[in-house]
Structure 1
């Protein structure tokens, strides 16, 4: 019955009252209570019976339940130990779910993938707490995991920055980082009214289709160039790079920009990922 599904506001209230559960502001807990949104997330993630899913922050299991009804196996990592007995009850009918108590930022994801996913391709699906969105996404992208895609509910503005393209005001170092590893696309908007308790801002679901082959470039050098370039958004690329404190003088940067065919008076927000890669390859190793 629909009113017994975990996304039912009535059922959510029953569960939190039964266990005397208090939402934690410090953990950014906001549970989904809209069945339409939950179903759309799983549908747009293209979860099938062949899929292995990693969920981060299952809460009381609202999204986990829908995932398990469509996936082969779901591993859900939950930080709040107070939610473990609740999850034991709410998901007891499903035999393809395993709950792991831990902090996703501290867990050895490569070991987890080997032990729990048999080195199969993984789809990540999560309703992420706003305060740890960027470090979690960064860890997922940087680790050597067999990721197929990452589908996450995040703060609307963060989703817009991740999916931004050169020339837009949202485009920044986060955009370059995400676009280096994946092809991002905002697939769903979620107003604050679909959560309990209601956050102060709206959310969006963004899908990151992981690139199977990454550009051959020294990533440390590449991201140094990107960070420095966006360090002073209002300044031109030549001024941002030459004033960052690197071991090169302004003339060296001018020469590299000329070779990369990037005008010196361009701002970082107008430079593509490909051009940043080209520039980082031309520049000698950068140190501060």
Structure 2
């Protein structure tokens, strides 16, 4: 079967089904077959892999996944694309298409029925507006996937990869690096899509860690610490942590900072994940004794 990246093919399908791109759903279809090859290579797919694809669109990526993997479950939110997918990739016996919103889907039930003990790889060309909610849902709820390989806005990928003391470094950087080992698969120019978005994209691979890289007294306190520390970037840790969701006063924060070996005048972006772990553990101790 010919690949579905041809603009002529896409226009034919759109005319046949009366389909129109939805801005509200952030629909942009890949029209560069080289991008597909780079994603396949970077995902290290094998013929025994099971795949959960989010947002198959007209089946551009779905087709390649079905050709390379044992099983593909594709979740599509747009009802107008379900009959399109039936035509473009419906012949694949190793494919199941589900019409639903992945953020509203019962993922536990889905995984029990479709993947059982197998950990699938999540592969998706995500609409920019739901990128972070979808990724963090899978990570925070510890949905049993081995990797998340997602096409996202380049700026967001840069934030996920960022290191301390850089402009892009923030709460998202720490959270993603806590749950996964991130790496950039490829960058994708805006001209590789139809319609063409206003920004370039990156494909990022998030390899889910078997165990977190730090030992925590409380994961909840750890993430609250991160949220407070980056909540107002211009504030020092002393001021940020004493005016946020942790509900601590300045004396408590001073005690935790001193026990962590950190200056009161540091800002959140200066701390790496190990320092955030140490600080949150000391905050946990302070809060426990008060």
Asked whether the two chains share a fold, i.e. TM above 0.5, the reply is: yes
Deviation at 1:248, TM superposition (A): 2.4
The unaligned stretches of length 5 or more in structure 2 are: none
For residues 238-280 of structure 1, give each alpha carbon's deviation from its aligned partner in whole angstroms, at most 9, with x where no partner exists.
Answer: 1111122643221211111111122221111111111111111
SS in 2 for 1:87: helix
CA-atom RMSD in angstroms: 1.3
1:193-212 correspondence runs (5 A):
193-212=191-210
Which of 35, 46, 51 is the equivalent residue of 1:37? 35
Deviation at 1:146, TM superposition (A): 2.2
Please give the alpha-carbon distance, in whole angstroms, between the structure 2 residues aligned to 1:154 and 1:80: 19
The answer on 1:56 being equivalent to 2:54 is: yes
1:92 aligns with 90
For residues 214-243 of structure 1, give each alpha carbon's deviation from its aligned partner in whole angstroms, at most 9, with x where no partner exists.
Answer: 244322111111000001101211111112
SS in 2 for 1:95: coil
Please give the alpha-carbon distance, in whole angstroms, between the structure 2 residues aligned to 1:259 and 1:54: 44
2:258 aligns with 258
SS in 2 for 1:54: strand
2:142 aligns with 144
Contact 2:55-2:125 at 8 Å conserved across structures? yes
1:103 aligns with 101
Deviation at 1:96, TM superposition (A): 0.7
1:158-197 correspondence runs (5 A):
158-197=156-195
SS in 2 for 1:166: coil
Deviation at 1:151, TM superposition (A): 0.5
TM-score by length of 2: 0.95
Bigger drift between 233-242 and 123-132 goes to 233-242
SS in 2 for 1:99: strand
Contact 1:109-1:143 at 8 Å conserved across structures? no
Deviation at 1:167, TM superposition (A): 1.5
Please give the alpha-carbon distance, in whole angstroms, between the structure 2 residues aligned to 1:164 and 1:14: 41
The answer on 1:219 being equivalent to 2:201 is: no
Matched residue count: 284
1:242 aligns with 242
For residues 184-243 of structure 1, give each alpha carbon's deviation from its aligned partner in whole angstroms, at most 9, with x where no partner exists.
Answer: 112210011010101111111111010001244322111111000001101211111112
The unaligned stretches of length 5 or more in structure 1 are: none
SS in 2 for 1:189: strand
Contact 2:182-2:204 at 8 Å conserved across structures? yes
Contact 1:5-1:11 at 8 Å conserved across structures? no
SS in 1 for 2:68: coil
Please give the alpha-carbon distance, in whole angstroms, between the structure 2 residues aligned to 1:39 and 1:221: 42
Contact 1:119-1:146 at 8 Å conserved across structures? no
Contact 2:171-2:226 at 8 Å conserved across structures? yes
Contact 2:73-2:96 at 8 Å conserved across structures? yes
Bigger drift between 4-13 and 60-69 goes to 4-13
SS in 2 for 1:230: helix
Which of 10, 13, 22 is the equivalent residue of 1:12? 10
2:78 aligns with 80
